[in-house]
Structure 1
Amino acid sequence: MTLAEEFRSRNFSIYGQWTGVLCIILCFALGIANIFHFDIIILWSVLCFVSSFILIFIEIPLLLRVCPTSEKFDSFIRRFETNYMRAAIYATMSVVQWLSLIRYATSLIAAAVVLLIAAAFYALAGLKKQEFAASKTLGGQGVAQMIV
C-alpha cells in the first residue's frame, strides 16, 4: 500500500500516526526553542522535548527493533498499541502543554494543539471501531519483522 492509498483508506489511525510524526518534529523543535526562557517555562519545554522521544518510539515501531532499549521501556511503549491508548497519551501530553499557559503564552501552544489533533484522530478511529493500522512507510505492517 502506497502512502497515497494509506491516506485514501479513511482510517483515522493512519491520520493520527502521521499527525504524530508532525508532533515529534514540533515537540523536539519547540522543546529546544523554549528552553532558553530561563524561568518556569523550562519545565514545560523539557517535558515537550522528552515527549518527542517517547512519541518517536510509539509512532515508529521499527525503532524498537533497531535501538537498544530496556525491557521495561519496551513494555511501556507496547501499552500504546490501541487507538484508545494512543488517544490517551496524546491527550495527556496535550494537557501538559496547555498547562504552560499558567505562566504565559509561548509557542508551546502549537505543540498542544497538534497533540490534541492527533488525540482526536486516534479517538475517532476508536469510536468508529477501526482497527489500528500502522503506516508501512513508518515501519509498520511487516517492515519491522524484515529487520530481525
Structure 2
Amino acid sequence: MTLADEFRSRNFSIYGQWTGVLGIILCLALGIANIFTFHVVRIIFAVLAIASALVILFIEVPWLLRICPTSSVFDNFIRRFTTNWMRAAMYTGLSAIQWASLCTGASSLIAAAVVLIIAALFYALAGLKKQDFVSSKTLGGQSVVQMIV
C-alpha cells in the first residue's frame, strides 16, 4: 500500500499518525526556539515540548525501539500506546501541557498545542468509529519492523 492509498483508506489512525509526525517537528523546533527566551517558566515548557517530541517519535516510528538502545522500562511505557484510545489520551495530555504554556503569555508553543490536539481528535475519531489501529508502512509498519529483525 502506497502513502496515497493509506490516505485514501479513510482510517483516522493514519491521519493521526501523520499529524503526530507534524507534531514531532513542531514540538522540537518550537521547543528549541523558546529555550532562548528570558522567561524561566517558558523555558520549562520548551524543554517539555522537546521531551514530548522525543516520546512521540518513539511512539509513531516503532522501528526506532529496535535500533535505539533504550531501557526495558521505557520500551514498556512506549508499548502501552498501541490503541487509538491510548494515543488519543496521550496526545490530549501532551497538548494540555502546551496549552498550559499560555500562563507565561502567548508564544509559538500554541502551534504545537493545536497540532497535538488535532492528532488526539483523529485518534479519538478512529476509536469512535471502531477502526482498527493501522500503522503507516512509511513510518515503520509491521513489514519494516520484520525486515529489521
In the alignment, the residues of structure 2 paired with residue 138 and residue 62 of structure 1 have an alpha-carbon distance, to the nearest angstrom, of 8
In the alignment, the residues of structure 2 paired with residue 107 and residue 97 of structure 1 have an alpha-carbon distance, to the nearest angstrom, of 10
- Give the unaligned 5+ runs of structure 1: none
Aligned length: 148
Between 1:7-16 and 1:30-39, the stretch displaced more is: 30-39
In the alignment, the residues of structure 2 paired with residue 123 and residue 38 of structure 1 have an alpha-carbon distance, to the nearest angstrom, of 37
Task: Report the equivalent of 1:64.
Answer: 65
1:74-104 CA-partner distances (Å, limit 9, x unpaired): 0000000000000001000001000011110
Cα deviation, residue 22, structure 1:
0.3
Task: Report the equivalent of 2:107.
Answer: 106
Query: Which structure 1 residue ranges, 4+ long, deviate > 6 Å from structure 2?
Result: none
Cα deviation, residue 141, structure 1:
2.2
Matched to 1:58, the amino acid is I
In the alignment, the residues of structure 2 paired with residue 78 and residue 144 of structure 1 have an alpha-carbon distance, to the nearest angstrom, of 14
Task: Report the equivalent of 1:34.
Answer: 34
CA RMSD of aligned residues (A): 0.5
- Give the unaligned 5+ runs of structure 2: none
In the alignment, the residues of structure 2 paired with residue 145 and residue 78 of structure 1 have an alpha-carbon distance, to the nearest angstrom, of 17
In the alignment, the residues of structure 2 paired with residue 3 and residue 147 of structure 1 have an alpha-carbon distance, to the nearest angstrom, of 20
SS at match of 1:142: helix
Matched to 2:89, the amino acid is A
Task: Report the equivalent of 2:23.
Answer: 23
TM-score by length of 1: 0.99
Task: Report the equivalent of 2:45.
Answer: 44
TM-score by length of 2: 0.98
Cα deviation, residue 142, structure 1:
1.7
In the alignment, the residues of structure 1 paired with residue 95 and residue 76 of structure 2 have an alpha-carbon distance, to the nearest angstrom, of 23
In the alignment, the residues of structure 2 paired with residue 134 and residue 92 of structure 1 have an alpha-carbon distance, to the nearest angstrom, of 21
1:73 to 2:74 alignment: yes
SS at match of 2:36: helix
Matched to 2:2, the amino acid is T
Q: Identical aligned pairs, as a percentage?
A: 70
Cα deviation, residue 145, structure 1:
1.3
Matched to 2:4, the amino acid is A
Task: Report the equivalent of 1:118.
Answer: 119
Task: Report the equivalent of 2:136.
Answer: 135
